[in-house]
Amino acid sequence: MYDPVTLDQLRAFVTVVEEGSFSAAARKLKRVQSAISASMANLESQLGVPVWDRTTKVARLTEQGKAVLGAARRVLAEVDALRRLTSGMVLGLEASVSLCLDALFPLDALLDLCAAFAKEFPAVDLRVDTQVLSAVSSRVLTGVATLGVVSPPGLLPGLEREPLASIHMLSVVSPGHPLARHRGRIPARELALATQIVLSERSDEGVPDQGVLSPRSWRVADLHTKHMMLRRGLGWGNLPEHLVKDDLARGKLVVIRPASWGDDENRLFLSLVYRNDTVFGPAHRWLMSQLKVLCVREGTPVRGSSRRRSPHLPRR
């Protein structure tokens, strides 16, 4: 059925309210005042409710008009969003972008990325997913996410890979834990007596647990739980430096040095991964470039071949 209410009438209505009078709205819209008055009269007639109280010198909104104003603004906002979306599509802009990140990715960098994305692409929806190990690669391979940021243990065949940066990993315990009393390297026999908190795959099909030194270990599937367990003194484990720097400064966690690991084995190298059949639009390309900038800011950039690996698997 034909709807006689037009967007032009709604815009005129909102402009009258914002400018304070029919004459001011006419000047703003570059129209004669009689056209604005006629538009408002037609709007009231078509809606079937009085929008303006004309008993005063300056027309004021009725209670019904106040309700109509809110609805009119919502309609116009949606129409403006639709126009931004379609104008972007003409230029090849995507309707949405999906990103899956390893849980080790710095949260501050992610928040900065999302804030900048919202300003750069206000009409593009952004989906952010956080997973551990191979679950990141799996989501990219299946098309659930178009871009992924993954650490070496979670890399799966069939994906293109670009190096981003490295994350410094630290072995930590709470100050009251028995291992906290060691000032030098801790021999394997001492670690064997303590419980190790290990970040593990959520499914049995994933990669094996990495860097397990203690025969007594607890498996967890998310980084936050592992972090809280270590702070409570329930064991020892490895966490990214950016996550624990405040805890170290406040004395809530202390660094330990397992003798089984050398100083060169304390970094995990993050990579950007995607399918080779993916066609990227402006929003994806922007996101990829900004990920590289933010990773360099938060960690150490990876130089040389992206396939160069430490002789030992990094610790999780």
Judgement on whether residues 120 and 84 belong to the same structural domain of the protein: no
Judgement on whether residues 67 and 200 belong to the same structural domain of the protein: no
Judgement on whether residues 185 and 161 belong to the same structural domain of the protein: yes
d(CA 278, CA 275): 6
- Tokens 């972008």 locate to 97
**Domain-located, residue 2:** no
Q: H-helix or E-strand containing 90? A: helix 63-90
Judgement on whether residues 102 and 226 belong to the same structural domain of the protein: yes
Judgement on whether residues 82 and 111 belong to the same structural domain of the protein: no
Regions of the chain short of the pLDDT cut 50: 1-2, 88, 90, 302-315
| CA quadruple 254, 168, 292, 125: dihedral sign | negative
- CATH number for 225: 3.40.190.290
d(CA 210, CA 204): 14
d(CA 292, CA 303): 12
Residue numbers of the domain that contains 253: 94-316
Q: Which amino acid, 53? A: D
Contact assessment for residue 101 and residue 108, using Cβ atoms and an 8 Å cutoff: no
Q: How buried is residue 215: exposed, middle or buried, by Cβ count under 10 Å (0-12/13-18/19+)? A: exposed
d(CA 310, CA 307): 10
Domain boundary pick from 90, 120, 143: 90
d(CA 46, CA 53): 17
CA angle 60, 64, 68 (to 5 degrees): 95
| CA quadruple 162, 168, 172, 174: dihedral sign | negative
**Domain-located, residue 98:** yes
**Domain-located, residue 215:** yes
Domain boundary pick from 56, 90, 124: 90
Strands 196-199 and 217-220: what pairing? parallel
Judgement on whether residues 139 and 284 belong to the same structural domain of the protein: yes
Strands 147-150 and 96-102: what pairing? parallel
- CATH number for 44: 1.10.10.10
**Domain-located, residue 1:** no
Judgement on whether residues 143 and 258 belong to the same structural domain of the protein: yes
Judgement on whether residues 45 and 116 belong to the same structural domain of the protein: no
Instruction: Give the distance, in angstroms, between the CA of residue 24 and the centroid of all CA atoms in the same chain.
Output: 43
**Number of other residues whose CB lies within 10 A of the CB of residue 2:** 3
Give me the number of domains the chain comprises: 2
